Amino acid sequence: MMKLNGNLKVLMAALALVAVTSAHATGDQAASTVATGSVGVADKKVTKAENLRLQKGVIRALSGTRGLNATNIAVIARRGEITLRGSVVDSRQAEVATAVASSVSGVSAVKNDLMIRPE
């Protein structure tokens, strides 16, 4: 009986050790997930701010270009890529808008979705 009691104590101690170890591992995993999640949120905020900065820069450049009517041009920025949407009066203005958008610092590509609508 004494031997059974001793074995039971060893078994209980081993089970307790396993329980504590797995609880600790789960806690580390949860902490890792929380840390990763907060980094993802921070990255999204930085990306959104950069997109907005780029969009404003392109709009400013288009608006300041002599001979270009940028009133009907919408600018969409996504990770350095600019999309121009809306309408201009002729193909020359569409080309100028594309060139101006391309010249803005931080722009990696420009997609021209402008439609030609003569006045």
- Could you list the pLDDT tens digit for every one of the 119 residues in the chain? 555 566 666 666 666 666 665 555 555 555 555 555 666 888 999 999 999 999 999 999 999 999 999 999 999 999 999 999 999 999 999 999 999 999 999 999 999 999 999 87
- What is the C-alpha separation between 94 and 65, in angstroms, rounded? 12
What is the CATH classification number for the domain harbouring 7?
Answer: 3.30.1340.30
How many distinct structural domains can be found in the chain?
1
> 85, 84, 78, 86: which is closest to 106 by C-alpha?
78
- Which residues lie closer than 8 Å to 29 by C-beta, 6 or more apart? none
Range of the domain at 48: 2-116
DSSP-based three-state secondary structure for 68: coil
- What is the C-alpha separation between 52 and 80, in angstroms, rounded? 10
State the pLDDT at residue 42.
87
State the pLDDT at residue 101.
98
